[in-house]
Amino acid sequence: MLPNPLIPGFNPDPSIVRADDAYYLVTSSFEYLPGIPVYRSTDMVTWEHVGNVITRPEQAGLENVSTNGGVWAPTIRHRDGVFYVIVTIAMSSRGCVVFTATDPAGPWSDGTTLEGVGGVDPDLAWDDDAAYVTYSGFMLNGPEAGRHKGIQQVRVDLEAGKALEEPRPMWSGTGLKAPEAPHLYQRGDHWYLLIAEGGTERGHSVSIARGPAPEGPFVGHPANPFLSARGTNRPIQNTGHADLVSTPDGDVLVMLGMRPLGGLQSFSPLGRETFATSLTWVDGWPYAEPVRLAPRPGTEEELFRFADATVLAGPGWLSVRATPAETATVADGRLSITGTADLDHPHVRFLGRRQRHMTSTFTTVVDARSGKGGLASRYDEHHWFALEAHGTTITAKAHLAGLAQSWQIEVPPGEIELRIETSPPPAAAMGEVTGGDRIRLYAGDTLVTELDGRYWTAETCASFTGRVTGMYASGGTVSFTDFRYTGRES
């Protein structure tokens, strides 16, 4: 049985490919840099974050993208020794872009924009004669912005960066809302068109059709949608946006899903994560096993000491609309961040990592004698909580949708350890069972405040991301001696 989540934490819209006896998986990254994490495995069980596709600002142009804009739904494919990632960079001048590399760990090309390809969620496939881009016709720009044209397809010239024809409408599912995330595969005498429908919320579903050629015509699976958690109390909900890979043990479907907490399964602190399930084929149609929760046992620990600048080159760091190297500097065993704006600003100086477990602890030691900043957990500019140090004052802040509350304590001069702990809601009174996880903010050994985590979840924030927790500065220069993460599942 595969572990589930397969890739925990903020890792939505997975796409996977097998090449050279290894599996490579990419996910969306939205307004964060570096963009498009690349994960590698040789057994589909143990995964390593080996790099990112977008490591240079000019590859994506995210400086002014809105929250929830940026890097949407990449597809990774391999052909003739070259890896391809095709992606929509939403609310950016780049549009639909194809990146290439011979090593998935990078470096990747600057990318080629495909003129004449609109919409989102592009897929890339080839037959003997042409390359095809199949995509969701949800229009982001121009006079048709906001219109959804269903699944569409064009033949493209990848080297010239242009479509070779006008888009053609494709099979678009069973009639559920938001047909998206198409992937096209050849299997035997058939071409299969896999899509998501039902929206990325609780109705999210996976459907498939088959036909004689990449252009179709396509006939839908008689059991569509053949994967969905809608109307169930399974611990993994919102299952959809899937991709297919063959393994020596059979075919596997990877997809996004969420782990809502509480008796009513209402709040998902980690957002959309990557999950997997097995497939069987009957009469040329796939049938999926339900997506079962199987978290990895034990405790995961990470400790980062800032001996030199190479620590910022590690693939797991994230900054907002800027690279980690643009956000922080490392010298004399300390990481320093200079900031001029708070966490509600789109260009806050923030350096963090994904929260990957329901029970987690983030810790750092901060010196804020020359500035203001500390440790924060962010969903977006409107939803975040933080421990902010300024001189001898520690302020815990909680911001959600324009509402704000704060708590202050005084501490001795000098460095102070800041800590954010999260844990699932207790199985106690109904009011707690229906709530979110518990969040505790500590300065040294002092509990500054405890929060109900339902207000910083995918359902409440309506962001496509997840919790990212890290170091920041909102004024002056703040320095940090280390950064620690500990996580486990109940």
Catalytic sites, residue numbers = 13, 180
Count the residues in the chain.
490
Q: Which two tokens stand for residue 144?
A: 């048709």
Provide the 3-class DSSP secondary structure of residue 309.
helix
Answer yes or no: are the C-beta atoms of 374 and 418 closer than 8 Å.
yes
Between CA 371 and CA 336 the distance in angstroms is 10
Widest Cα–Cα separation across the chain: 73
Between CA 105 and CA 6 the distance in angstroms is 19
Peptide bond into 5 cis (omega under 30): yes
Between CA 271 and CA 294 the distance in angstroms is 17
Between CA 451 and CA 421 the distance in angstroms is 10
8-state DSSP, 128: S
Answer yes or no: are the C-beta atoms of 94 and 61 closer than 8 Å.
yes
Answer yes or no: are the C-beta atoms of 114 and 99 closer than 8 Å.
no
Between CA 157 and CA 134 the distance in angstroms is 14
Nearest residue to 256 via CA among 42, 464, 46, 22: 464
3-state DSSP percent of the chain in helix, strand and coil, to 5: 5, 55, 40
Distances (CA, A) of 431 to 233, 358, 425, 426, 436: 19, 19, 10, 10, 10
What is the full DSSP assignment across 124-157? Answer: EEE-SS-EEEEEEEE--SSTTTT-EEEEEEEEEE
Between CA 299 and CA 311 the distance in angstroms is 22
Strands 318-320 and 82-90: unpaired
